[in-house]
Amino acid sequence: MREDETALVILASGLSQRFGRSDKLTAPFRGKPLIQHIIDSCKSINFGKRFAVVPSKPSELHDLLKDNDFILIENNRPMLGKNHSVKLAAQFIHGEGYNSIFLALGDMPFVMNYDIKNIIQGIGNNDKAICCYNDTLMPPAIFRNGVINKLMTLNSRFSTKALFGYENYYKYKIPKETALDIDTKEELQELS
């Protein structure tokens, strides 16, 4: 799989209700904004273009992503959840001519550059690849070819993980720390 034929998409439009009123993804974590960790892990990968799904209201997050050369995909309805963000991303990148999407979350700061490279290299002839910790599937993930069409028609009753049913796909095993995401201020403080 060629990196330059793949669009990077970072999901960054969640409501973060468990975090409180402040923007979780711009909160300081280990010396930089939380989302900057996944951005930095992706920097040396030669993705075709870099996109982020963000809330439609302009914010510090928008500025941070633009400063890192991301194209913003605005989500006017973040209350519809992650599936809606994935659907928006798939529709947008397909319209840009990409048939491959590398999907990451803005609140997973421990995904490293080598994890991303291993997922990309490991996909082989499969149409999808995903990370796995203790048999639990989780992002980052890659979707390509016909799977993009399925993502473009997602609805709230169909989980993205359901795409990883019985068909062949590459599963990249990650350690516990890599699998951690940050949902609350307490988790942010504890992991700092």
Is residue 12 within 8 Å of 53, Cβ to Cβ? Answer: yes
Per-residue pLDDT of the chain (192 residues; tens, 9 = 90+): 788 899 999 999 976 666 766 789 999 999 999 999 999 999 999 999 999 999 998 899 999 999 999 999 999 988 888 888 999 999 999 999 998 999 999 999 999 999 999 999 999 999 999 999 998 999 999 999 888 988 998 876 666 777 887 678 999 999 999 999 999 889 989 988
Q: Where are the alpha helices (DSSP H) in the chain?
A: 36-42, 60-67, 82-95, 113-122, 146-151, 176-179, 185-191
| pLDDT computed for residue 23 by the predictor | 86
Query: What domains lie within the chain, and their CATH numbers?
Result: 3-191 (3.90.550.10)
Enter the pTM of the model. 0.93
Instruction: Show the tokens assigned to 105.
Output: 């979350």
